[in-house]
Structure 1
Amino acid sequence: MPPKAAKGGKSSKSDPKAAGKMPKKKEGGGGGKAKKKKWSKGKVRDKLNNMVLFDQATYDKLYKEVITYKLITPSVVSERLKVRASLAKQGLRELLAKGLIKCVVHHGGQLVYTRSTKGDESAIAE
C-alpha cells in the first residue's frame, strides 16, 4: 500500500511547523551505536621478591612472632615474613608438630591455624 500524501501537497520534511515539533537528539545519548570503549592501561603490580629458603633471622622470627598471631595461614606468614607460600607451609607444619600452634581447619588446600593456649599446653604435657 503506498504511503498517504500529506495535506496540502507538501511533505512533512519541508514543513517548518512539523520540523519544529520534532525532538532534537541529545548529544551522546543512549540510542543508536555506543562509543567504542577505550582500552585502559592495566595496573602494574610490584614483583614480590620472597625468599625460597629460611635464613636464621627469619627462622627465629617464625618461632617468636608467628606463634603469637591469632589467625595463622600460609598466606599471612608469607606476607609478613616475606617468604614463599610453600616455605610458609613447611614452617607451619614444623610448628604444629612441636605443638606451638594448633590446627583449626585442614580442608583441601585451606590451612588455618591458631596459637596454642595455655590450657592446650597443659593437656599436651599430661
Structure 2
Amino acid sequence: VKDKAQHAVVADKTIQDRLNKDVQTYRLITVAVLVDRLKINGSLARKALADLEEKGVIKKVVGHSKLSIYS
C-alpha cells in the first residue's frame, strides 16, 4: 500500500519565500515540478504559477488545458 503524501494545502511564509526565490531559477516549471519540489498540493501549485506569471517572474511557454509549461 502506497503511503499518503503529506502536502501543504495553504501557502505559509516559508512556502511563499521559496516560491519567490527558488522557482525562478528552475529551467522547467510545471505543476508537477512544484508539487514534487515544494511539497504543496496541485491546486496551490496552479494558483502559485498563475500569480507568478501575473507578477512577471515567470513566463508561459506552452499553454494547454491539461498542462502548462513555464520558464
Per the alignment, residue 65 of structure 1 pairs with 22
Structure 2 CA distance for aligned equivalents of residues 70 and 93 of structure 1: 17
Match of 1:17 in 2: none
Q: Which fold has the larger relative contact order, with Cα–Cα distance below 8 Å and residues 6 or more apart in sequence?
A: 2
**Root mean square deviation of aligned Cα:** 0.7
| Counterpart Cα distance in 2 of 1:46 and 1:102 | 34
Greater helix fraction, Structure 1 or Structure 2: 2
Q: TM-score, normalised by structure 2?
A: 0.95
Spell out, residue by residue over 1:38-59, the C-alpha distance to the aligned partner (whole angstroms, 9 max, x if none): xxxxxx2221010110010111
- Structure 1 unaligned blocks of 5 or more: 1-43, 115-126
Runs of 4+ in 1 over 6 A off after TM superposition: none
**How far is the alpha carbon of 1:105 from its aligned partner?**
0.7
**Once the two structures are superposed, what CA deviation does each residue of 1:58-86 show, in whole Å capped at 9, x if it has no partner?**
11000000111000001100111100011
Instruction: Give the letter for the 1:54 counterpart.
Output: A
Corresponding position: 1:104 with 2:61: yes
Residues 1-41 of structure 1 show CA distances to partners (whole Å, capped at 9, x for unaligned) of xxxxxxxxxxxxxxxxxxxxxxxxxxxxxxxxxxxxxxxxx
The code of the aligned residue for 1:76 comes to V
The normalised TM-score by structure 1 is 0.55
Identity %: 44
Aligned residues: 71
